[in-house]
Amino acid sequence: MIKLTDILENDILKPRRSPEERQKNYKITTQKKIQKYIKDGSKGDLYLSGTPTEKLPDNLKVGGSLDLDNTPIEKLPDNLEVGGGLYLMDTPIKKLPNSLKVSGYLNLMNAPIEELPDNLKVSGNLLLSYTLIKELPNNLKVGGDLLLMGTPLSKKYSKEEIKNIIEERGGYVKGIIILWKNKY
């Protein structure tokens, strides 16, 4: 019969890998998942939410949605194309690449992003709630709704004023949702 003291003395219950080694292995596994997705033809959605993803390869094309919510990624790759939604909620993203193409939603809620690139086109909704966006870019095209709760824009402008700004700069938006004006 094995006694508890024998187990504790023989280090049987100690983890075989350190937390640092487990985190390193998780990063490697995540990168392998991305490479397999590309090798398999970039079809469907790529879910990376909550993973330690810090970087994506340049010229990445995602057939469906790309979910990067709650990841440490700070920069998106050049020439990124997303056939569905792009989810960047609670990431440290501060800037989007000029060449970004999103065919669905673009969710930047709670990201520290301060500006959007000119000529940004989003076929679905553009969620900017609780971001630091103070100004809208030239030629912004949003096929769905623009959500601006908790932004400097929602404090400064009405829905009608925001729509006029977008249209004066050569863009369009289906609708604007503020819900309430917040002090930011």
- The residue type found at 2 is I
This prediction's pTM: 0.86
Written as tens digits, the pLDDT of the chain (184 aa) is 666 666 556 655 566 778 788 888 889 999 999 999 999 999 999 999 999 999 999 999 999 999 999 999 999 999 999 999 999 999 999 999 998 999 999 999 999 999 999 999 999 999 999 999 999 999 999 999 999 999 999 999 999 999 999 999 999 999 999 875 544 4
- The C-alpha atoms of residue 140 and residue 167 are separated, in whole angstroms, by 9
Residue 82: which H helix or E strand, with range? strand 81-82
Helix, strand counts (H, E) of the chain: 4, 11
Domain parsing of the chain, residue ranges? 37-177
